[in-house]
Chains A and B, each alone.
Chain A
């Protein structure tokens, strides 16, 4: 078991024939992901990586039966691509592209929600169900199959956390990189109940960072609804106020969105919060051997 995607999930790629799209789509295919085609307007009818290329998402969905789209189009076209996917009946759009304008994402997410499509990202590593299906840019070999669910705002910290979990002798069910932009798709609050309901997931790791209040919302949700043990790390404990730390959303504004307040809220919700990023694996071991 897993959440959202598995070995049977049919995936198309928007921005299939571009440099990034090509490289990562072929890595996904090597991993075993069922990439059933792609979309590049104007290149419909061609074949790429041994898969059909379509002019529109609607055609791709109709022909292949895909339910998930992995989006690699340039930032200026992200909103358009997301809305096209939603219109075509895609159930989940995984938006890898970095640098999409906030205003565009605001409209795109509203439209996706209206059409009942889930989104992950933008500016994220994607989603991976270990040893079954990788939709994104993460190094697949780091994610060994196991019983820990992972939700993270940061790419490399996702890899770091998974690596530590594996080194302690455990593994991952599904890992979701939700991205660190001001407006993102699925977040802790939507993903936590999915892991709670997944029989294979026995513990959940959540990696947050400064800025916004998604982690605070998650803490309130965990307190009321999550029975499985949760381990959390919040990056940016030493970040100065008012400075944007790489991610567009990673900024402490007006004294709110600090790591300290997020850590305190999670701790109060019964979450095992680690201060050092090197302790994530050990903390998972601790909660699982209880």
Chain B
């Protein structure tokens, strides 16, 4: 689960990770009020969406007067912000963060995530603040300093020194930096974060470190023990169909093709998308119906897939294990009674009791349900059906 910059900064404050003063605003009036409360002569108006690249997309603006705050808040609130992370359709901005202007002497990058190979967290710092870190990693990897932190001992001074000296900080700033990094480590670990990213981390004219931006993501499996963080979930930032699917125990991700897929198991679901592509088609979605594949989940699956008007055929690919294929076949027939399925459905059922299942589908004699013999036959038929060639 991801959260907004203003929420990540709330967490930072709680852990004494220094951030500039700021207030969130949902309306133009609130934005103006926030700027007045903050005082000063310089403010930043920042669009709050779950995507990076907001500045380049026109979602972060500097205001030199209260009137300018009003002007920018009015422009940004309600705008559709397109960045390299939002996709071409962009995201509508529903809130802005009003922050005091900062005196930037130098920009850095500081982030943390799980190093899967080391099986422990890694903290990364770079002098290339403000740049996309993936780009830095690809083009100038020597400019990134990394340190693995064994959670059984926690953040130690030497971890901090490796990063600080790696960044080329003068020795009188090393202590301040270590304090900052150590606080960030605690915020990450305590909250079961999956990643935290400060880009840029700035050094001010008077030698202080401040998190000018803040991004945090959390391990969904651990949210049960962080009710305060679960509450930060912003449903407006999530794809409504994906959300609906989740509520029904389905895992759905919309893609751009026209062959709908309904599969049991995440790996087989990915493999099904791959084989559709291999046979010359384009998958319309990833959908894992889970182990159950009962009439209700299958019906819901059809309903969700068919919300996408691009879908011209559906490939149901179920490998029956402990859930027998004959039961799944009956489930599919039941589902077609619950939901109106308007496109050809190619069904491939293999595994336990596959022959009985084929028999059930044959006897049902429903016009737009087409049985497939195996995985490649199913994929081929689904691709042909989507092209109107079946």
Contacts and interface: CB of A to CB of B under 8 A. Distances in A.
Interface of A: 27, 75-76, 99-104, 106-107, 109-110, 137-139, 141-142, 152-160, 163, 180, 182-183, 207, 209-210, 212-214, 217, 233, 235-240, 242-243, 245-250, 254-255, 259, 275-278
B267 A157 contact: yes
Given A101-B219, A106-B119, A156 B255 contact: no
A278 B379 CA distance: 10
Contacts of B275: 276-278
A255 B132 CA distance: 12
B65 to A, nearest CB: 38
B241 interface: no
A142 B321 contact: yes
A104 to B, nearest CB: 8
Given A157-B268, A277-B275, A139 B352 contact: yes
A255 B84 CA distance: 14
12 contacts: A106-B119, A106-B120, A137-B322, A209-B270, A212-B116, A235-B274, A238-B274, A239-B273, A243-B286, A246-B251, A277-B275, A278-B374
B363 interface: no
Contacts of A180: 266-267
B286 A154 contact: no
Top 10 nearest A-B pairs by Cβ distance?
A154-B267, A246-B266, A156-B265, A139-B321, A101-B222, A278-B376, A254-B134, A277-B271, A156-B268, A157-B267
B268 A160 contact: yes
Nearest to A244: B253
Nearest to B322: A139
Interface in B231-285: 251, 253, 255, 263-278, 283
B25 to A, nearest CB: 28
Contacts of B117: 212-213, 217
A75 to B, nearest CB: 6
Contact of A247 (B137, B267, B379): B267
Given A235-B271, A240-B255, A247 B266 contact: yes
B186 to A, nearest CB: 13
Contact of A152 (B116, B134, B151, B267): B267
A155 B265 contact: yes
Contacts of B375: 160, 277-278
A160 B219 contact: no
B9 to A, nearest CB: 23
Interface in B64-100: 85
Given A180-B266, A210-B270, A235-B274, A100 B221 contact: yes
A110 B270 contact: no
Contacts, number: 164
B158 interface: no
B352 A141 contact: yes
A163 B85 CA distance: 40
Given A154-B268, A157-B268, A182-B116, A239 B286 contact: yes
Nearest to B276: A238
A228 to B, nearest CB: 23
B137 A254 contact: yes
A99 B267 contact: no
B267 A153 contact: yes
A102 B267 contact: no
B320 to A, nearest CB: 8
Contact of A75 (B221, B251, B379): B221
A138 B352 CA distance: 11
A163 B319 CA distance: 10
B interface residue count range (under 10 / 10 to 19 / 20 to 34 / 35 or more): 35 or more
Contacts of A237: 273-274, 277
Interface in B357-390: 374-376, 379
Given A213-B117, A276-B278, A163 B270 contact: no
Contacts of A142: 321, 351-352
B338 interface: no
Given A102-B219, A255-B134, A246 B269 contact: yes
Nearest to A104: B222
B5 interface: no
B194 interface: yes
A261 B264 CA distance: 26
A284 to B, nearest CB: 15
A141 B222 CA distance: 36
A175 to B, nearest CB: 13
B192 A101 contact: yes
B270 A76 contact: no
A182 B321 CA distance: 25
Nearest to A99: B221
B326 interface: no
Nearest to A242: B85
Contact of A250 (B151, B220, B266): B266
Of the candidates B117, B225, B351, the one having the most CB atoms from chain A within 10 angstroms of its own CB is B351
Contacts of A275: 274, 278
Contact of B271 (A137, A160, A243): A160
A166 to B, nearest CB: 11
B42 interface: no
Given A248-B221, A277-B375, A278-B374, A239 B152 contact: no
Contacts of A155: 265, 267
Contact of A102 (B114, B138, B270, B274): B114
A224 B222 CA distance: 39
Contact of A154 (B119, B189, B265, B376): B265
Interface in B287-340: 288, 319-322
Contacts of B319: 156, 159-160, 163
B277 A238 contact: yes
Contacts of A163: 319, 350-351
B338 to A, nearest CB: 24
B254 to A, nearest CB: 10
A27 B267 CA distance: 24
Contacts of A212: 116-117
Given A139-B322, A210-B270, 7 more contacts: A139-B352, A141-B352, A163-B350, A212-B116, A238-B277, A245-B270, A254-B133
